[in-house]
């Protein structure tokens, strides 16, 4: 069973990150502040990160008696990782905030998230391969096909995104003011 734990945790991440964009957009909209709602939502996201990503590991380190001594390069790269993650999360909100006026977020949120979640693994593949180029053998052609399929899938999602419903019903009749019967 331990052989499958990496995949189990990866699927857990997929499920959490799969709803991230939908929940983030909903939080932004429910702030009821079209101008600043995305910043307020991001502030709350930051608080959630603090609770889960700062207090959680701190408690685990205390519980496991792991200590808090850390190496400089590890701190630097971990901070860079956190910074690029936070910048990426902020860019998700900026993407949501740039949905054209009058267009349904329901048509754009899936496209934005598909671009992110298909594009990020492609970027990750190139950076990881470059970083570990001296340890790796030749790249299998099907690996490249997989990357191309991810890119093609994202393009299809963007090209054939859901359309908002268009009402073809006639305009509702005008409501007339009630007659004043007191005359």
Q: Is the residue at 117 inside a domain?
A: yes
The mean pLDDT of the chain is 85
Residue 181 token pair: 């019967």
3 state DSSP class of 94 = helix
Are the C-beta atoms of 154 and 115 separated by less than 8 Å? yes
Give the pLDDT confidence of 31-66 residue by residue, as tens digits: 999 889 999 999 999 999 999 999 999 999 999 988
| Structural domain count, the chain | 2
Residue 9 token pair: 């945790």
Give the pLDDT confidence of 151-178 residue by residue, as tens digits: 998 888 888 888 877 655 554 554 444 4
- 58 and 38 co-located in one domain: yes
| Full domain range(s) for residue 20 | 1-68+75-98
- 19 and 86 co-located in one domain: yes
- 85 and 150 co-located in one domain: no
Please provide the size of the chain in residues: 183
Give the pLDDT confidence of 74-120 residue by residue, as tens digits: 999 999 999 999 999 899 988 988 888 888 888 888 888 888 988 88
Are the C-beta atoms of 109 and 25 separated by less than 8 Å? yes
- 30 and 60 co-located in one domain: yes
């Amino acid at each position: 069973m331990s052989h499958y734990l990496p995949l189990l945790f990866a699927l857990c991440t997929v499920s959490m990150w799969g709803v991230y964009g939908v929940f983030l957009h909903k939080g932004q909209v429910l702030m009821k502040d079209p101008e600043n709602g995305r910043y307020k939502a991001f502030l709350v996201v930051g608080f959630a990160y603090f609770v889960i990503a700062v207090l959680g590991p701190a408690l685990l380190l205390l519980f496991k008696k792991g200590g808090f001594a850390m190496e400089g390069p590890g701190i630097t790269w971990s901070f860079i990782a956190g910074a690029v993650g936070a910048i990426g999360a902020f860019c998700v909100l900026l993407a949501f905030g740039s949905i054209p006026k009058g267009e349904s977020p329901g048509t754009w949120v899936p496209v934005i998230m598909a671009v992110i979640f298909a594009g990020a693994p492609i970027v990750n593949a190139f950076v990881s391969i470059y970083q570990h180029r001296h340890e790796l053998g030749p790249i299998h052609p099907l690996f490249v096909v997989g990357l191309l399929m991810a890119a093609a899938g994202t393009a299809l999602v963007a090209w054939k995104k859901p359309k908002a419903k268009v009402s073809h019903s006639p305009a509702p009749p005008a409501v007339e003011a009630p007659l004043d019967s007191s005359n």
